[in-house]
């Protein structure tokens, strides 16, 4: 079977071949007729936007909840914060991501009316962020518990409060050693962003389904989409690898008592 990648240069309206479609995508030529290549590039942009926003939410909430899970037992407030963060983790990591997307899209806006005005990609990004935050929280918790107990004791001996101990001693080291599992979660979020098709966000998976139906060139369409997913994940991997290299703690060995792979 011969592959025909020329399908990407066809007009999405009438199926006619669009002149200079590759040049038009990169702004090198003017073209008023949208091609499937234009659609593909825009869908890729939506995928990256949903994944990027979801990752931002996940990193912030995951760092907070993971840190709260490791608070020392200094009173009723700390115990309640630990319980709250534990409930958060167990709730969001045990509900399928697609179900969470539907809940955020169909259910929660019925109770929180301002959410009805949010575009669907925001709601999907929030669902992805909350789901991924539970997994990142466990990795942050494991990273903190992997640190030698002497680090916390040394901070206390220097007169640091609990907040200062986490800010200046514990978190700067823990965040460095959890970069490898964070890399995996970041790559997974790129892939998980495909659930956005379920609420009509025009990302790569929705593009593939609709373009295949219109053109009957499913092999070419899905090959291109697969390549863009793989390219996106690989780019995240390389960026995180550079961050890990630049922030590595010389001579530091993670304790085997705590696992980072939750």
Query: pLDDT tens for residues 229-255?
Result: 999 999 999 999 999 888 876 665 554
Instruction: Give the model's pLDDT for residue 106.
Output: 94
Residue 253 counted as domain residue: no
- What is the 3 state secondary structure string of 128-183? HHHHHHHHHHHHHHHHHHHCCHHHHHHHHHCCCCHHHHHHHHHHHHHHHHCHHHHH
Instruction: Give the model's pLDDT for residue 256.
Output: 43
Residue 190 counted as domain residue: yes
DSSP 8-state symbol, 16: P
Residue 45 counted as domain residue: yes
- Residue 84's CB is within 10 A of a number of other CB atoms, namely 13
- Determine contact, residues 134/65, Cβ cutoff 8 Å: yes
Instruction: Give the model's pLDDT for residue 28.
Output: 44
User: How many independent structural domains does the chain possess?
Assistant: 1
Is the whole-model pTM more than 0.85? Answer: yes
Residue 259 counted as domain residue: no
- Residue 69's CB is within 10 A of a number of other CB atoms, namely 22
Residue 5 counted as domain residue: no
Residue 262 counted as domain residue: no
Instruction: Give the model's pLDDT for residue 232.
Output: 96
Instruction: Give the model's pLDDT for residue 153.
Output: 85
Gap between the Cα atoms of 176 and 246, Å rounded: 10
Residue 1 counted as domain residue: no
Gap between the Cα atoms of 214 and 8, Å rounded: 12
Gap between the Cα atoms of 194 and 125, Å rounded: 11
Gap between the Cα atoms of 129 and 55, Å rounded: 6
Q: Which residues of 167-204 are buried (b: 16+ CB within 10 A; e: fewer)?
A: eebbbebbbbbbbebbbbbbbebbebbbbbbebebbbb
- Determine contact, residues 21/38, Cβ cutoff 8 Å: yes
Contacts of 182 (CB under 8 A, 6+ apart): 59, 136, 139, 240
**In sequence order, what are the beta bridge partners of 35?**
11
Instruction: Give the model's pLDDT for residue 257.
Output: 44
Name the residue range of residue 64's domain.
10-247
DSSP 8-state symbol, 13: T
Q: What residue has token string 């009509």? A: 200
**In sequence order, what are the beta bridge partners of 10?**
17
Alpha-carbon 4 to chain mean position: 33
Which pLDDT tens digit goes with each residue over 32-72?
A: 578 889 899 999 999 999 999 999 999 999 999 999 999 98
Instruction: Give the model's pLDDT for residue 12.
Output: 81
Residue 254 counted as domain residue: no
Q: What is the CATH number of the domain that holds 111?
A: 1.10.3720.10
Alpha-carbon 32 to chain mean position: 34
Which residues of the chain carry a pLDDT beneath 70? 1, 20, 22-32, 249-262
Listed residue (6, 100, 26, 106) closest to 58, CA to CA: 100
């Amino acid at each position: 079977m011969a592959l025909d990648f020329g399908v990407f240069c066809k007009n999405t309206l009438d199926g006619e071949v669009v002149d200079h479609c590759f040049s038009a995508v990169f702004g090198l030529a003017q073209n008023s007729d949208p091609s499937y290549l234009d659609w593909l590039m825009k869908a890729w942009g939506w995928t990256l936007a949903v994944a990027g926003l979801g990752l931002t939410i996940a990193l912030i909430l995951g760092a907070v909840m993971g840190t709260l899970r490791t608070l020392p037992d200094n009173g009723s407030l700390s115990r309640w914060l630990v319980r709250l963060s534990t409930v958060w983790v167990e709730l969001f990591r045990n509900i399928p991501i697609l179900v969470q997307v539907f809940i955020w899209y169909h259910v929660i806006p019925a109770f929180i009316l301002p959410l009805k005005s949010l575009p669907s990609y925001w709601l999907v990004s929030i669902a992805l962020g909350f789901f991924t935050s539970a997994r990142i929280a466990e990795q942050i918790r494991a990273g903190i518990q992997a640190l030698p107990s002497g680090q916390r004791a040394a901070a206390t001996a220097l007169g640091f409060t609990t907040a200062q101990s986490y800010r200046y001693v514990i978190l700067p080291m823990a965040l460095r050693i959890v970069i490898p599992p964070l890399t995996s979660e970041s790559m997974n979020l790129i892939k998980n962003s495909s659930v956005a098709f379920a609420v009509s966000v025009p990302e790569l998976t929705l593009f593939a389904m609709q373009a295949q139906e219109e053109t009957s060139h499913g092999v070419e369409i899905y090959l291109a989409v697969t390549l863009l997913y793989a390219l996106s994940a690989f780019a995240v991997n390389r960026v995180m690898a550079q961050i890990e290299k630049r922030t590595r703690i010389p001579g530091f060995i993670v304790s085997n008592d705590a696992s980072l792979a939750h």
